[in-house]
Amino acid sequence: MKIASIPQIYRNLNRWREILSVLSKYELANWIGRLGPEFAKDLLKTPDGTAIARHSWETRIKMALVELGPTFIKLGQILSMRPDLVGVALAQELEQLQSDVPPDPPEKARALIESELGHPIEEIFSSFEDVAMASASIGQVHRATLLSGEPAVVKIQRAGIERKMEVDLEILAGLALLAERLPEFRYYRPRATVAEFQRAMRRELDYRRELRNMQQFARDFKANPRIRVPGTYPKLSTRRVLTMERIDGIPLCQADRIRAEGHDTAELARRGAELYLEMIFINGFYHADPHPGNVMVLPGDVFALLDYGMVGRMDERLHEDFGDLLVALSNQDAEYLATLILRIGTVPPELDRPALRMDLADYVSHYGTQSLEQFDLSGALTEMTEIIRRYGIPLPPSVAMLIKVLVTLEGTAKLLNPTFSLLEVMAPYQKKLLWRRFSPRRRLRKLGRLYGELEHLAEVLPGGIVDILQQVETGKFDVHLDHRGLEPSVNRLVLGMLASALFVGSSLLLSRFVPPLLGGVSVLGALGCGFSLALGFRLWLAINKSGHLDRRK
């Protein structure tokens, strides 16, 4: 860790101590769970009295995040969207993370609204419920009625949450720096993951971004009567306060109640999936959390979406890549599927490409023969993600999010219709993807961009070549080589040569009885032999730790 980070550690010392205490407790419980005696497994417990060591590793991680508080709960929820990094089992466990946090007292909620909007509550709303209707780790929601009589909900940030999260984000950056030094954590790319989390959290702490998302969804679906986006009130919204229309309906998580109301659940599942696929593949801007609690059914089989803090975007490259993935899977082309995965993801240098292609061949032979009606798209995407993670190929966040959304969407639709097949509903959109890719308009646009890049290259290339030639003529042209990983090998080679030379020289001293002598043995020769043997042993330990000399690739 850098010296510059020491003041940050000292400034947040209590929080550092608290976090490290919780992490060490759960790591000790992990050790006891694997190796400890039976009686010791009940020694370490969570704040609610649950024995930690008797749970699975994934459950223990979830428990640790809950105990560490709001920032770490949010970290777990975001990591649940990245099964390519943490694995499918852990991602599924982290999906269950819910922050059961009591709301702020009414006086704090009122004070925040008044300070943000600049007026007393009575001048803004004709009625305002002090008791929050819902409360989470970052914010809470209150019912209200506007002065015009329209029902509304007011979403406000919790008092002091921004400062708490800034402290935790600073500490997470320090922990990520330490984790990068440990080989077992290096694959998870701790620093890149924490940087991605920091960006996501800072976006979520700004309610103006969520307001803009809602306004864009309202524009995209203003002519679609099957979906209702809550109206927004920009003049009553700020960075920490969001005022929107109140909509009452039945959440999809209450599937039995929806059936009891007489809705056709099979038709609802199909319509809901079509709405999401339209967002993804037509609009290119989609609601990224189709959790059953975030989708409501209104009278007339109309859908209403809640919580627009997490959204995804589909650019042209992502459209192409995902369309190609579906084509490779439907054509059972394992070679092309492997090529796509290697093109999309970050390929580690030690990747076993033949083994990856063999696993993908087994994968497509299993899923490629399933009929359209019986195809398990969520299972296929989940298994493909697990294969990618096993070979250490992290996906771009946009691709990982899209895969997770489709998996969650199919699971949500199956609450309404257990026989639902997302791929069957997706078939028309797959054709649209292919047509969009090969459409003349898109080809011309792509050729236009390519022409612009070639034109720029033609402008700068002659000048660059002239500069290089001038440097060569004046003797200022230098070539810098970066020998990554070569320095440790050179150091070991030099150490081995020194140890060998010292041993040979000391042996000569011993054989020639060079004084001073002790018991007829050259003291300098004996010391030199002992030191050379110690150097050789240290060199052997270093080689044994990093890799054996006879290891074959």
Alpha-carbon Rg for the chain, nearest whole angstrom, is: 31
3 state SS for 382-451: HHHHHHHHHCCCCCCHHHHHHHHHHHHHHHHHHHHCCCCCHHHHHHHHHHHHHHHHHCHHHHHHHHHHHH
Instruction: Note whether 310 and 294 are within 8 A (CB).
Output: no
Q: How far is CA 270 from CA 266, 276, 284, in A?
A: 6, 10, 20
Q: How many angstroms separate the CA atoms of 325 and 319, rounded?
A: 10
Closest CA to 108 of 69, 139, 133, 71: 139
Q: How many angstroms separate the CA atoms of 307 and 186, rounded?
A: 34
Q: Is 130 helix (H, G, I), strand (E, B) or coil?
A: coil
Q: How many angstroms separate the CA atoms of 117 and 124, rounded?
A: 8
289 classed as catalytic: yes
3 state SS for 242-265: EEEECCCCEECCCHHHHHHCCCCH
Q: Provide φ and ψ at 447, rounded to 5°.
A: -65, -35
Count Cα atoms within 13 angstroms, Cβ side, for 123. Answer: 7
- H or E stretch covering 522: strand 521-522
Q: How many angstroms separate the CA atoms of 369 and 72, rounded?
A: 42
Cis-peptide into 516, omega within 30 deg: yes
Q: What is the distance, to the nearest Å, from the Cα of residue 252 to the centroid of all Cα atoms in its chain?
A: 26
Give the tokens for residue 448. 């236009």
Angle at 204 between CA 201 and CA 210, to 5 degrees: 160
Which residue among 84, 104, 168, 289 is the active-site one? 289
Which residues are known catalytic residues? 289
